[in-house]
Every structure is written in structure tokens, then in C-alpha cells.
Structure 1
Amino acid sequence: MELAQWQQRFEAWMAQHHATDDAAHDISHFRRVWMTAQKIAAEEAVDPLVVLTACYFHDIVSLPKNDPQRSQSSTLAARKTRRILREDFPDFPSERLDAVAHAIEAHSFSAGIAPQTLEAKIVQDADRLEALGAIGLARVFAVSGALGVALFDAADPFADSRPLDDRAYALDHFQTKLLRLPDTMQTAVGRELAIHNADYLVQFMAKLSAELQGDCLGIDASIQRRFRHSPNA
């Protein structure tokens, strides 16, 4: 079966079985991760069906960020995906199930599972790129709003004199996780894209800093210097 046919079937299944109000983990997210994965994998010898399937099902279970079992999401998603593929896609090649499950398990930041295959590395990179750039910026505040997290600490927005706490302040999440993502990327293409999009977040932080100081037109160069990714990192 052609890859496009598998994608159509997965999309149809999602439309029927995966209705969600979680804007960060909906069908549009799955599509974008797949599009990014194709860019990363363009020059690589990979199994595209494994990558496609993992991209579409990697967040079929996605517990809220404040759930105590959050780190188990990807393992639960891999387990559920095996069941879905066996029951609802009985013609899916059984010899690819282990590779799909591993790519799903290893995609999660909180799970801390190292990807062992190129397919898993590509899926992990593609998913992490969703946390950066304009989409990442929108997602972090959407998720924080849903959880009732404040945008930032008005008295100390960049945590100069306090511990970082992204459970209390959305902006803290940039330092606790997002700006660290480029150094976790598994592929050269993924790392290049991550650095570019992380710098977009730094630009936002610099603009925010200037506005908080009453400068609606400027950019805080000190924030740019402080947080921009070092090419030697």
C-alpha cells in the first residue's frame, strides 16, 4: 500500500476516534510533525511507514503536564498504538510494530528514553521542533492558559533573583526546557532547525523585556546576548 493511502487511513481513524480539545496534541499537530519529519528524513535511508505511523500516533495518549504520571504518556501511547494497529489496521505489517512502538516511546522529553533507531531520532526531533518557533510560542501559552499558569512573574520575569518555576510562570518554561532543546536534537538537520527556531523565541523574550521597561518599539539586546544559542554549545 502506498504511503499516502496509509496516511489517509490514519487521518480517517483520527477523525472518528481522536476528538480532542487539546490544541497542542490534535490532528494538526500530528500532520505538522509528519511534515517536519519528512524534511529531516529527506536524505536519509529510513522506513517511511514507521516514521509516518509514529508521527500520527505518538500522542494518542498525552497526559496533562501537571499529571503525576506525565512521564508515562509515551509508554502508554506506544502500548495503545500496538492495540490500535492490530485491531483496526490488521493489514499493517506486524514486523514494523516494534519499530513504531520504540519511536513513540522515545519521542517524549519527560520519558527520558534514548532513541535507538534513525526513525525514532527523526520522530523525536520533529516533535521537539513543535515546541520552538512561532508554533512553539503559541503552544506554550495555550497550554499554560489551560493549566491556569501565569504568563510571567512581573517582578522578576527572567528569574534573575529567584528559582525557575514553569509550573507557576509560562515564561520560565523557555529557560527550563525550550531553549535547551537544540542541544538534545538527534540529527544535524533537526539541530539546525531547532537553533533557528529557538532564536525566534529569544527574539520574543527580548521584545517582551523591552516592553516591560516601557519601550514599545525596541528590543532588549542584553536578553538577546544572554539567551541566544551559542554556536559552540
Structure 2
Amino acid sequence: MIDKIIEFTKGKMNSDSSHGFDHVLRVVKFCEIIGKNENAEMEILIPAAYLHDIARPLEEKDESIDHAKVGSQMAFEFLKTIGYPHAEEISYAISAHRFSKGLIPQTVEAKILQDADKLDAMGAMGIYRTIAYSVLNNRSFEETIAHFENKILKLKDLMYTKTAKKMAEKRYAIVFEFVQSLKEDITYH
């Protein structure tokens, strides 16, 4: 059934460089690593990872849409149509994956999904995604640096699981060094 979930996800995603299917695959990989170490129910976690951003393209067209909330409903309805068990738990994990809304996930699978999504915003890939997003949205240097400092560099301290906390350390160091170097380069102007 995971093949059906992957096909459904691919049909919903944009090829956008910061939240495309490649992002989904990285989140799935992080969930596999963290889930095994944190004793998660993988039949809940992995489908939730694949489906977590299916409503992102809708939010990009209409900012009043919360992709986590709408995506959780879309996932629930889809999973019911294919007879996949755990539709409710998967839907919940998706609804709680967006840390910027201040939701505190209540299940281990929801915590891992949120951690995995945050990990992909960090490290070298996080730098790439932030810059790609900044270019697409015409953000200035100052706005991009502020985004790194006010959001990305704070993610390390927002991890729920021990495994993700450990993984976040290295990724944080990469971003920290990049931001410091970027700020130094800017001061030479």
C-alpha cells in the first residue's frame, strides 16, 4: 500500500525546490532513522512522512490555507479510500507537524515527524532551501540572515526526541558557521 501512498503524494506535490517531493523523501529518511531509535510505529510514521506536505501547493496559492490542517484531512480521506489502517493516527501526526503554529505533538510519531521536518531545514540542505526560498520570494540579504537567526538556528533546541537532538547538533554547526561567514562577508562592503 505504500506504493499507492507514494503515487498519491507525487500527484499532489509541486517540483518546488524547498518543499517538493525531494523534501518529502529526506523527511521519510529522517523518520526511518529516528523512528527505529525511538520505537515508533513505522506503519503510522512512514505514511505520515510521505503525506505531510500534500497540501503545501494549496497553501502556496492561498496563504489562508494551513497545509498541515488541510493536508491531514486530505490524507485521512485518501487513506480511508485505500483501506489503510491507522488513518486517524497518521492524520493527527500530519496536523501536528508544523512547529511554527506552536502545536505540541502528543504522540511519538507526531514528535518524530515534526523533528524530521525541522532537520531538513537545517544543515547544508537547509541552507540551500532557505536561499532558494529567499530568491523565489525576493527576500533581501538582511531578511535571509534574519530568517536563519530567528528560525533555522533555533530549531536545534526545539527537537523532541533524543535521536533528533543528536542529529541536529551537526546540522546546527553547519548553518551557524555559514551565517557567521555570510555576515563577515557582508561587512566588507
In 1, the alpha carbon distance for the partners of 2:147 and 2:114 equals 19
Q: Does 1:195 align with 2:187?
A: no
Count of residues paired in the alignment:
187
Structure 1 moving runs of 4+ over 6 Å: none
Q: Is the 8 A contact 1:74 1:111 kept in 2?
A: no
Deviations 1:81-127 (A, max 9, x none): 1112123x2x211xx11211111011102222111111111111001
- Between the aligned partners of 2:88 and 2:5, the Cα distance in structure 1 is 18
Give the fraction of aligned pairs with identical amino acids, expressed as a percent.
28
Shift of 1:170: 1.3
Alpha-carbon distance in structure 2 between the residues aligned to 1:19 and 1:45: 29
In the alignment, is residue 48 of structure 1 matched against residue 22 of structure 2?
A: no
Q: Separation in 1 of the partners of 2:47 and 2:19?
A: 15
Residues 40 and 129 (structure 1), Cα distance of their counterparts in 2 relative to 1, 3 Å cut: same
Bigger shift: residues 18-27 or 106-115: 18-27
After superposition, give the CA deviation of every residue in 1:40-87 in whole Å (9 maximum; x if it has no partner): 1222322101101110111111224992x36x2211110111112123
TM-score by length of 1: 0.74
Q: Distance in 2 between matches of 1:103 and 1:128?
A: 14
- Aligned 1:26-105 pairs, distance under 5 A: 26-62=20-56, 63-64=59-60, 67=63, 69=64, 72-87=66-81, 89=82, 91-93=83-85, 96-105=86-95
Residue 121 of structure 1: which of 111, 119, 135 is its match? 111
- Please state which structure has a larger fraction of its residues in helix: 2
Q: Which residue pairs with 1:8 in the alignment?
A: 3
Query: Which structure is richer in relative contact order (CA contacts within 8 A, separation 6 or more)?
Result: 2
Q: 1:162-196, CA deviations, whole angstroms, 9 ceiling, x for partnerless residues?
A: xxxxxxx1111011111111111000111111122
Select the residue among 150, 155, 168 that pairs with 1:181. 155
TM superposition shift of 1:148: 1.6
Instruction: Output the CA distance in 1 between the equivalents of 2:124 and 2:108.
Output: 27
Which is further off, 130-139 or 169-178?
A: 169-178
Aligned to 1:201, what secondary structure does the other structure show? Answer: helix
With over 3 angstroms needed to count, the CA separation of the structure-2 counterparts of 1:205 and 1:104, relative to structure 1, is: same
Contact 2:76 2:87 (C-alpha < 8 Å) held by counterparts: yes
What stretches of structure 1 of length at least 5 have no aligned partner?
1-5, 154-168, 216-233
Q: CA RMSD in A?
A: 2.0
Which shifted more, 115-124 or 190-199? 190-199
